[in-house]
Chains A and B, each alone.
Chain A
Amino acid sequence: MRRLDELVAPVVLVVAAALLGSLASISNQTYFTDTLVKVSIVVALYVFIGNSGVLSFGHISFVALGAWTAGVLTVPPSEKPAIMPNLAEFLLHRHVGNVTSLALAAVVGGIAAFVVGIPLMRLSGLAAGIATFAVLEITYNLLQYEERIGPGLNAFSSVPETTGLRQAAIGAVVCIVVAFVYARSRFGRLLRATREDDAAARAVGASVYRQRLIAFTVSGLLAGLAGGLYVHLLPVNVNSVHLDLTFLTLAMLVVGGSGSLLGAVVGTLAVSAIDSWLAVAENGTSVFGLNLDLPAGTAEIVVGVMMAAVLILRPSGLTGGRELRLRGRIAWRGSASRAPA
């Protein structure tokens, strides 16, 4: 816990984004809130991918499960039959408040990650990548058709929209603090040791399997929380928590640098800034007196090019996988240029 100063930069960035958002017009504020929710998702990704160096395409499943949990439990009971006609009996009359729903979303995400992780954490490399992809596809398929636990193909309308700037910022800071505490803990250190040198870490007694499982569970917990925040922001449907979000959040993590917490935050803010600006420009805007009206879909193309370019030119991301320290003078430290392997 001595390196508390490494926590400063990510938190300051999040608070600054929230303050900037509070100055923006109401219609533009959504972009800032959305960005802050994505910070939570990407920080959740970082906890596992960044510390273990193992790729996961499956984390959006836990976001989806968190969204489903918080959504089902907060739709007003009078409206449940209209949105979710086939809902199971025991969910029909349950109703919880905002904070409880977020906590439960986190718990469900964590439990799901733990259960999925028990078999999956034995795998590494490409097998792990494909297996986590399989988890994403299974979750997508089940949520799509299992109408006893949610709205199926419909969107989660009527969920109280409690995720404003403040809630999104608090959620992001909570995720960052948890990720920081985890990374500085004995478990985080052991896991990063296995990332840097598997054989050496095993030789000093680190269990790769156990450390990965712990990280997977913690990151599932945060992803579930982020899903809860997300469903309270906008009417989520099953397609909004599938491949596109997986791609966007992975792009954010990779662009920022998957090796550090700061990278996760910087990447999210950078990609979101460009993405949101282009989304505004697609509806027509003026830059330096020039009228700009980009065709719809430009944002995806630019993000795709950005991600490919960063991977090719600077595979360890914008921050190079380093944290920012503020002890006396500003100095960079952290894992050397190490891409996710």
Chain B
Amino acid sequence: MTLAILNIDWQTLADGLALGAIYALMAVGIGLVFGVLRLVNFAYGQLVMAGAFALALASQWGWPVWAGIVLCFAVVLALSVAMEHLVFRPLRGHSPAVMLVATFAVAFLLQSIALLWFGSLGKIATSLASLNRPWTLSGVDIRKITIVAVIVAALCLLLLHLLLERTEVGLHMRAASMDFSTSRMLGVRANRVISFAVLISGALAAVVAVMLTVQTPLVTPDFALRDTIVVLAGVVVGGLNRPIPATLGGFTIGFATGVLGGALPTNQSQYLPTFVFVAVILVLLVRPRGLFDFSRSVERV
């Protein structure tokens, strides 16, 4: 009943779920790097964009799907490592605001390079288009990518959880994000932990790139830029300090955006960013440390 009143059908709900799942992955990617470096990576969306262009190029060259995905991972991981060495490392220890502005600069730099390289019209990635077809389940059309996205996101989060909780490097990462200098004194190797976090974050960006290009095959230089802004807001709203609140924040804002975008009539859905960002401001005012952060730690920033 309530669903009918709000004009939400199962399709919209499924789409919201898929967007929430993708945003949750991006949130984890941003949150992991923030955990060890205290750095909000504004350029995360441009990693996704680079991966998407790799997929588009691969499909243009007629490569098989798996080769395209391998290329996507290779490009995104290489770019992540380069970013870590050239930008994050020299900035280590600066104030969060300086680092945020610096990654803002990197984001625009990468976007301008893409613009110069591929033009503003972009390229089309067609190789995975079959996943975008609907799959009828008792009268409800659900695009296959919706299901794939939810499953892949759940799998990634599970693997990540196991990695953080059950392995030594995961333990080191958790220690480093709690207190970096103390963990170093106790024998955690800073560079290794940071490189590892950056690599995982890059791998997640590649996964996101694959799933986003299935949903929107047209890859332009501002691909994933708007998503990154929304996810960043979601991550800060959820609580940046811990992985689970950050993930929940990303999921919530993705789910809300997806469902509202599908359910609202056009003359209202064009104001969707306004609704979302007003909500973001309200949450930040009420709980500046994050909606889902129930710990009683002191303010870090």
Contacts and interface: CB of A to CB of B under 8 A. Distances in A.
Interface in B70-114: 87, 90-91, 94-98, 100-102, 104-106, 108-109, 111-113
B273 A138 contact: yes
A300 B100 CA distance: 19
Interface in B197-252: 225, 229, 232-233, 236-237, 240
B284 A247 contact: no
Nearest to B280: A134
12 contacts: A55-B100, A123-B288, A126-B100, A130-B236, A130-B237, A141-B273, A247-B105, A304-B112, A307-B102, A311-B102, A311-B105, A341-B95
Nearest to B235: A130
Contacts, number: 134
Contact of A125 (B87, B96, B104, B270): B96
A87 B46 CA distance: 38
Contacts of B300: 125
Contacts of A126: 40, 96-97, 100, 236, 240, 301
A340 B280 contact: no
A333 interface: no
A137 interface: yes
Nearest to B230: A137
A259 B29 CA distance: 33
B277 interface: yes
B20 to A, nearest CB: 19
A131 B284 contact: yes
B116 A296 contact: yes
B274 A127 contact: no
Contacts of B100: 55, 126, 129
The 10 A-B residue pairs whose C-beta atoms are closest, nearest first, are: A304-B109, A125-B301, A300-B112, A134-B277, A297-B116, A307-B105, A341-B95, A141-B273, A311-B102, A308-B105
Nearest to B226: A137
Most B C-beta atoms less than 10 A away, residue of A129, A250, A339: A129
A225 B144 CA distance: 52
A284 interface: no
Given A131-B280, A141-B273, A301-B116, A308 B109 contact: yes
A119 interface: yes
B97 A340 contact: yes
A336 to B, nearest CB: 15
B109 A145 contact: no
B241 to A, nearest CB: 10
Contacts of A130: 232-233, 236-237, 280, 284
B280 A315 contact: no
B109 A141 contact: no
B178 interface: no
A310 to B, nearest CB: 9
Interface string B149-182: 0000000000000000000000000000000000
A190 to B, nearest CB: 21
Given A125-B299, A138-B277, A315-B98, A133 B233 contact: yes
A309 to B, nearest CB: 9
Most A C-beta atoms less than 10 A away, residue of B40, B96, B113, B274: B274
Interface string A55-68: 10000000000000
Contacts of B102: 307-308, 311-312
Contacts of B190: none
Interface of A: 53-55, 119-120, 122-127, 129-131, 133-135, 137-138, 140-142, 144-145, 243, 247, 250-251, 254, 295-298, 300-301, 303-305, 307-308, 311-313, 315, 339-341
A125 B285 CA distance: 13
B281 interface: yes
A339 B281 contact: no
B277 to A, nearest CB: 4
Nearest to B222: A243
Given A122-B285, A304-B108, A311-B98, 11 more contacts: A55-B97, A55-B100, A129-B97, A131-B285, A134-B281, A141-B272, A250-B101, A250-B104, A297-B115, A308-B106, A312-B87
B271 interface: yes
B129 interface: no
Contact of B236 (A127, A305, A340): A127
A243 B301 CA distance: 24
Nearest to A146: B271
Contact of B271 (A124, A127, A129, A141): A141
B278 interface: yes
Contacts of B280: 130-131, 134
Contacts of B111: 300
Contact of B301 (A127, A133, A298, A301): A127
Interface string B269-295: 011111001101100110010000000
B277 A339 contact: no
Contacts of A340: 95, 97-98, 101
A42 to B, nearest CB: 14
Nearest to B221: A297
A339 B284 contact: no
A283 to B, nearest CB: 15
Nearest to A299: B112
B79 to A, nearest CB: 14
